[in-house]
Every structure is written in C-alpha cells, then in structure tokens.
C-alpha cells in the first residue's frame, strides 16, 4: 500500500470530524431534555438541572466543536448528575 499524503490524511480526518459534529447536532445528542416539569431536566431522574460554572475544559470543548453547540455545564441537585448540555446554538442551520 502506498504512503498516504499527510495533508490528505489531515483533511480527511477534519472532514470526518466535521461530519460527526453535524450528526451529533442532527440527532440532538447532548441537547437539553425537556419534560413536563421543566425545559431542561436531568437525563436520569427528570428533576430540573441547575446551571453551574463552566470548567476550563468546557471552554476548550466548546472551542474544539467550533462553538456549534454552546455547551453549558449543569448539575442535578437530586441525583448529582453533572455534565454538559447544549441548547440554543449560535448557528442553527445544519
């Protein structure tokens, strides 16, 4: 097998990564979940999530996803679930 052009490799990886991001967005993976109690509830116990301060890695994560999602960090006060959720993205036409 021939050696792949490194530039081509990087381009392909970048395209694959971008497609992955679009798939995540299309399937609403990691998006806020709404239930009868509130419009942003815990994925496990359906209690309302509390907004907490973002960590440094969260800013990095937003940067790495080209700020397509605007992830924010939330915590459940009922079952201690903690994680990132995205709601209204900056650019919504994907």
Residue number, 21 or 32, with CB nearest to Zn ion: 32
Q: List the one residue from 21, 31, 38, 81 that touches Zn ion (CB under 5 A).
A: 81
Q: What is the arrangement of strands in the sheet containing 82-86, beginning at the earlier edge strand?
A: 49-51, 71-76, 82-86
Question: Based on C-alpha coordinates, what's the Rg of the chain?
Answer: 17
Of 21 and 47, which CB lies nearer to Zn ion in the complex structure? 47
Smallest distance from the beta carbon of 75 to Zn ion, in angstroms?
9
| Structural contact between residues 10 and 79, judged by C-beta atoms closer than 8 angstroms | no
75: contact with Zn ion by CB under 5 A: no
């Amino acid at each position: 097998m021939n050696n792949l052009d490194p530039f081509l490799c990087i381009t392909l990886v970048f395209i694959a990564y971008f497609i992955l991001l679009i798939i995540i967005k299309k399937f609403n993976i990691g998006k806020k979940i709404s239930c009868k109690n509130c419009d942003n509830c815990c994925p496990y116990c359906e209690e309302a999530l509390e907004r907490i301060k973002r960590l440094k890695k969260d800013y990095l994560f937003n940067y790495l996803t080209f700020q397509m999602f605007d992830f924010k960090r939330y915590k459940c006060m009922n079952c201690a679930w903690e994680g990132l959720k995205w709601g209204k993205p900056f650019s919504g036409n994907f």
